[in-house]
């Protein structure tokens, strides 16, 4: 399987898993998010991300990775990007969550597995299983 397809599969899986988190983060005033980023308030950003993820994922499995940026052009809606980290069940994923007014996207930097020699299909299965296991039970 070509490398770009593998990355797209992983990004699609992660994006589907984070729809609720992105929607929750989008409830935050974008000016407040930009202010936190501009003033390098990593602890406050981490708290905000944590409060947005705790409804959907078990504690500590999804967190802010201490890097963020924004784009606020005059003629368009602001966009905020947050580096994130997912760790659960011997799977670690590092990615950038970009949130706009109506859309969000994921760009995966890397996905690591404790086992070294896993084929692509097994890696995707492990990623899906880890995400499902990390989710909070739906009520």
Which of 5-14, 54-63, 68-77 is least confident? 5-14
Question: Which pLDDT does position 63 carry in this prediction?
Answer: 95
pLDDT at residue 4 above 60? no
Distance of alpha carbon 138 from alpha carbon 130, whole angstroms: 16
Question: Which pLDDT does position 120 carry in this prediction?
Answer: 86
pLDDT tens digits, 79-96: 999 999 999 999 999 999
pTM above 0.75, yes or no: yes
């Amino acid at each position: 399987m070509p490398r770009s397809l593998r990355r797209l599969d992983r990004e699609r899986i992660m994006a589907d898993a984070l729809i609720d988190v992105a929607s929750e983060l989008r409830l935050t005033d974008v000016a407040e998010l930009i202010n936190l980023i501009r003033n390098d308030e990593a602890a406050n950003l981490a708290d905000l991300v944590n409060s947005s993820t705790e409804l959907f994922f078990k504690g500590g499995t999804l967190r802010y990775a201490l890097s963020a940026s924004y784009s606020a052009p005059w003629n368009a809606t602001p966009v905020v990007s947050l580096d994130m980290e997912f760790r659960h069940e011997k799977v670690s994923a590092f990615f950038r969550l970009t949130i706009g007014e109506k859309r969000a996207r994921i760009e995966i930097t890397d996905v690591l597995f404790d086992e070294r020699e896993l084929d692509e299909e097994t890696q995707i299965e492990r990623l899906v299983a880890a995400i499902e296991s990390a989710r909070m039970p739906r009520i």
